[in-house]
């Protein structure tokens, strides 16, 4: 007489939703760190090089010219001081954006890592939270290196500058979440070149990195204020120059809400793509 | 360990639809603990969709499915914790080494590293990959990648191992090594579910199998039962000169239970092939060559699923 196999007693593999999400995400992070162990030197060197090049070329070269025109427009600080934190925030945007395009696409469809992982007790939200944690890790190490370089140039005003690290993390994740959502809908990489050309590069140029957004025409100013980079730059610059604007809670709230909303969309789209 | 009466996977009316397309149409089957159960069928028959539902990777559209006593709709992670899945195409982590692939996979199953390390070493040994432990995955041969994928599926010591076309694309040596390893796993009491379109593989490995065609199960049984039911004991293959074919009209009739005409030869299904051949000689039918062989699963398969190409 045939009997149907019973479930073996024992705790379920993941005891509750919260510890499960943290543990699952930690494994995705661990996997990325395992890969990073082989590549971290090059990546860290790049983190040194970027601010060094920008600050040398634009900061020192340009600021000589600009000093003659006065610095009122910059809030009375040297151009180098204005530029340094701006470059920090926009580099975070660029790295986080890149990490959320080709590598994520590869894990979805070229190398199908996610398919392999989802054959285990891991679930889609573990993948997403894990990848965002990985971005947070990268942003932390990048911002730390940047702060060291900025210090060499004498830019930070006080230990408050350390708050630039969480601000940079938030800025990076605010780009990673919507771009992972975008990557989850793509079947080839042709959209990514357009994303960088038409979204990321214009933001880099017009979101307060190189000049105050107040220089833009009113409409431009509103557009810039709707993007996460603008708010990221405001917080990072406020921290580094110890001149946090009174509006900081608004910038912070904007980024937090933006990450929550786009993160949820990313979860839905990843799930739709990976579970069929 | 011989197959038992305990049912490990139970499906009734199991259906998978993608929008308007029905990939699996109300299939019924039971897989018993410690048996090797095969899904045969041409491409697009619904084998992989069925496997993906059992593996809890693809939601069930309709019908009942129980895997290791649990419901994939509500207990997918718990079921997956006790499964090993070998997908059709290798999806190894190309950015990790051979050994790291196993260690990281163990982490996804919540195994501590202290347990994962000896387990990974043991599996690399079992799959003859120990020398390549520190190598990257990309330069490995197809057979080695396949073995690594199977080793990875065994990391959590699964009760049920699901293999989707485990030997497609491998050379004969690599296939035989895999068959031998899969047989050993079965000896140790693991339950195997295998899809394949290699009939020799099905005959070698499967205790019982089902043949799927156009989203449905068209036959089920042991390899021997299927051959008895859908073929005869032997097959006489005749090649007849082109000139003689047109004047053959009906002269082969009655020599066998069933006669199939192919572009290059005739197949006469008979329990005694030599006796049928004597009949051919007796009727003085001109032939180029004649071959008597045992009927195989391939004859069953072609009879049930047709000879036309599925693309």
Please state the pTM of the whole predicted model: 0.90
| Nearest Cα residue in chain B from A109 | B91
Give kind and range of the element (H or E) at residue A113. helix A113-118
Q: Which of A40-44, B32-36, B180-184, B229-233 has the highest mean pLDDT?
A: B32-36
* Higher pLDDT among residues A124 and A56, named by residue: A124
Q: How confident is the model at residue B305 (pLDDT cuts 50, 70, 90)?
A: confident
Within 10 Å of residue A61's Cβ, how many Cβ atoms? Answer: 11
Cβ–Cβ under 8 Å, residues B50 and B206: no
**Cβ-based neighbours of A116, under 8 Å, separated by 6 or more:** B87, B91, B92, B93, B105, B152
* A219-223: average pLDDT: 86
How far apart (Å, rounded) are the C-alpha atoms in residues B239 and B268? 11
Provide the β-strand partners of residue B191: B160
| Nearest Cα residue in chain A from B66 | A4
| Sign of the alpha-carbon dihedral angle for B297, B303, B306, B307 | positive
* A43-58: average pLDDT: 86
The residue of B19, B33, B94, B108 whose CB has the most chain A CBs within 10 angstroms, and thus the best one to mutate to test that interface, is B108
Within 10 Å of residue A199's Cβ, how many Cβ atoms? Answer: 16
- Mean pLDDT of chain B, nearest integer: 91
B190 CB near a chain A CB, below 8 Å?
Answer: no
Checking phi first, is residue A269 left (phi over 0); if not, alpha (psi -120 to 50) or beta?
A: alpha
* A243-267: average pLDDT: 96
Residue B60 has pLDDT above 70, yes or no: yes
* Higher pLDDT among residues B67 and A46, named by residue: B67
**Cβ-based neighbours of A209, under 8 Å, separated by 6 or more:** A83, A86, A87, A89, A90, A229, A233
The residue of A8, A116, A127 whose CB has the most chain B CBs within 10 angstroms, and thus the best one to mutate to test that interface, is A116
Length of chain B in terms of residues written: 311
Provide the β-strand partners of residue B16: B24
Q: Residue B78: which of A12, A30, A35 has the nearest Cβ?
A: A12
Residue B80 has pLDDT above 90, yes or no: yes
Q: Report the number of secondary-structure helices (H) and strands (E) in chain B.
A: 11, 13
| Nearest Cα residue in chain B from A117 | B108
Q: How far is CA B44 from CA A31, A193, A276, in A?
A: 35, 36, 16
The reply to whether residue A23 touches residue B55, judged by beta carbons under 8 angstroms, is: no
**Partner A, chain B 33-52, Cβ-Cβ below 8 Å:** 33
* Higher pLDDT among residues B29 and A67, named by residue: B29
Q: How confident is the model at residue A10 (pLDDT cuts 50, 70, 90)?
A: very low
Length of chain A in terms of residues written: 276
**Which of B18, B142, B139 lies closest to B90 in space, CA to CA?**
B142
Helices (H), B109-163: 113-126, 142-153
How far apart (Å, rounded) are the C-alpha atoms in residues A211 and A216? 9
B87 CB near a chain A CB, below 8 Å?
Answer: yes
The reply to whether residue A12 touches residue B100, judged by beta carbons under 8 angstroms, is: no
**Which of B77, B105, B152, B66 lies closest to A13 in space, CA to CA?**
B77
B96 CB near a chain A CB, below 8 Å?
Answer: yes
For helices A124-152 and A17-54, give the axis angle rounded to 10 degrees.
30
Q: How confident is the model at residue B309 (pLDDT cuts 50, 70, 90)?
A: low
Provide the β-strand partners of residue B31: B9
- Mean pLDDT of chain A, nearest integer: 89
Q: How confident is the model at residue B1 (pLDDT cuts 50, 70, 90)?
A: low
Residue B7 has pLDDT above 50, yes or no: yes
How far apart (Å, rounded) are the C-alpha atoms in residues A184 and A274? 9
For B82-117, what is each residue's pLDDT tens digit?
999 999 999 999 999 999 999 999 999 999 999 999
How far apart (Å, rounded) are the C-alpha atoms in residues A167 and B54? 45
For A208-220, what is each residue's pLDDT tens digit?
888 888 888 888 8
**Which of A108, A83, A132 lies closest to A259 in space, CA to CA?**
A132
* A33-38: average pLDDT: 93
For A106-165, what is each residue's pLDDT tens digit?
999 999 999 999 999 999 999 999 999 999 999 999 999 999 999 999 999 999 999 999
**What ipTM does the predicted assembly reach?**
0.88
**Which of B217, B182, B214 lies closest to B201 in space, CA to CA?**
B182
* Higher pLDDT among residues A118 and B252, named by residue: A118
| Nearest Cα residue in chain A from B17 | A276
How far apart (Å, rounded) are the C-alpha atoms in residues A142 and A163? 14
**Cβ-based neighbours of A239, under 8 Å, separated by 6 or more:** A85, A160, A161, A162, A163, A164, A167
**Which of B82, B185, B94 lies closest to A120 in space, CA to CA?**
B82
Q: What is the DSSP string of B154-213?
A: TTT--SEEEEESTTTT--HHHHHHHHHHHHHHHHTT-EEEEEES-HHHHHHH-SEEEEEE
* A92-98: average pLDDT: 95
* A248-264: average pLDDT: 97
- Residue A152: HSE in the Cβ half-sphere, 13 Å Cα cutoff: 10
Cβ–Cβ under 8 Å, residues B70 and B78: yes
The residue of A37, A103, A119, A125 whose CB has the most chain B CBs within 10 angstroms, and thus the best one to mutate to test that interface, is A119
pLDDT of residue A67: 67
- A-B Cβ pairs (cutoff 8 Å, strict): 97
**Cβ-based neighbours of A94, under 8 Å, separated by 6 or more:** A200, A204
* B71-75: average pLDDT: 95
| Sign of the alpha-carbon dihedral angle for B210, B213, B219, B224 | negative
Q: To the nearest whole percent, how much of chain A has pLDDT over 70?
A: 92
Residue A9 has pLDDT above 50, yes or no: no
* B235-260: average pLDDT: 85
The reply to whether residue B96 touches residue A6, judged by beta carbons under 8 angstroms, is: no
């Amino acid at each position: 007489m045939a009997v149907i196999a019973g479930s073996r007693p024992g705790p379920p593999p993941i005891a509750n939703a919260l510890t499960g999400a943290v543990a699952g995400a930690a494994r995705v992070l661990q996997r990325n760190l395992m890969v990073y162990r082989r590549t971290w030197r090059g990546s860290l060197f790049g983190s040194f090089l970027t601010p060094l090049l920008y600050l040398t070329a634009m900061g020192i070269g340009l600021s000589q010219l600009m000093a003659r025109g006065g610095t009122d427009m910059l809030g009375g600080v040297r151009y180098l001081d204005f530029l340094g934190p701006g470059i920090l925030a926009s580099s975070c945007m660029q790295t986080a954006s890149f990490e959320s395009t080709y590598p994520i696409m590869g894990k979805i469809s070229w190398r199908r890592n996610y398919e392999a992982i989802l054959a285990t007790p891991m679930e889609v939200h573990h993948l997403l939270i894990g990848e965002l944690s990985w971005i947070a890790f990268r942003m932390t190490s990048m911002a730390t290196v940047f702060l060291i370089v900025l210090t060499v140039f004498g830019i930070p005003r006080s230990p408050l500058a350390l708050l630039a690290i969480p601000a940079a993390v938030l800025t990076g994740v605010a780009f990673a979440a919507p771009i992972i959502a975008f990557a989850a809908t793509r079947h080839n990489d042709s959209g990514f070149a357009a994303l960088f050309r038409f979204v990321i590069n214009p933001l880099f140029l017009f979101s307060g990195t190189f000049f105050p957004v107040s220089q833009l025409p009113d409409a431009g100013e509103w557009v810039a204020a709707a993007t996460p980079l603008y708010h990221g730059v405001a917080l990072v610059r406020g921290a580094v120059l110890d001149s946090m604007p009174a509006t900081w809670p608004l910038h912070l709230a904007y980024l937090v809400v933006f990450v929550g909303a786009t993160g949820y969309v990313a979860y839905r789209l990843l799930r739709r793509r990976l579970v069929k | 360990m011989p197959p038992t009466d305990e049912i490990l996977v139970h499906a009734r009316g199991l259906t998978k639809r993608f929008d308007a397309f029905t990939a699996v149409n109300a299939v019924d089957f039971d897989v018993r603990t410690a048996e090797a159960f095969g899904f045969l069928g041409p491409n697009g028959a619904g084998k992989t969709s069925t496997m993906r539902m059992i593996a809890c990777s693809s939601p069930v559209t309709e019908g009942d499915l129980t895997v290791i006593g649990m419901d994939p709709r509500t207990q997918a992670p718990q079921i997956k914790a006790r499964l090993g899945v070998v997908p059709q195409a290798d999806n190894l982590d190309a950015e990790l080494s051979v050994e790291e692939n196993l260690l990281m996979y163990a982490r996804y199953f919540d195994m501590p590293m202290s347990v994962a390390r000896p387990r990974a070493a043991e599996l690399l040994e079992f799959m003859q990959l120990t020398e390549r432990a520190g190598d990257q995955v990309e330069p490995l041969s197809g057979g080695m990648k396949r073995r690594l994928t199977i080793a990875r599926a065994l990391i959590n010591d699964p009760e049920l191992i699901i293999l989707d076309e485990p030997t497609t694309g491998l050379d004969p040596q690599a296939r035989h090594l895999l068959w031998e390893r899969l047989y050993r796993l079965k000896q140790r009491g693991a339950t195997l579910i295998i899809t394949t379109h290699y009939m020799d593989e099905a005959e070698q490995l499967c205790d019982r199998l089902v043949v799927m065609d156009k989203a449905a199960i068209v036959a089920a049984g042991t390899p021997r039962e299927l051959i008895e039911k859908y073929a005869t004991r032997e097959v006489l293959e005749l090649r007849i000169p082109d000139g003689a074919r047109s004047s053959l009209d009906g002269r082969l009739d009655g020599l066998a239970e069933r006669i199939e005409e192919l572009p290059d030869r005739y197949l006469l299904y008979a329990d005694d092939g030599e006796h049928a051949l004597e009949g051919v000689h007796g009727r003085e039918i001109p032939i180029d060559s004649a071959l008597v062989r045992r009927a195989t699963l391939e004859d069953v398969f072609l009879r049930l699923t047709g000879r036309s190409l599925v693309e």
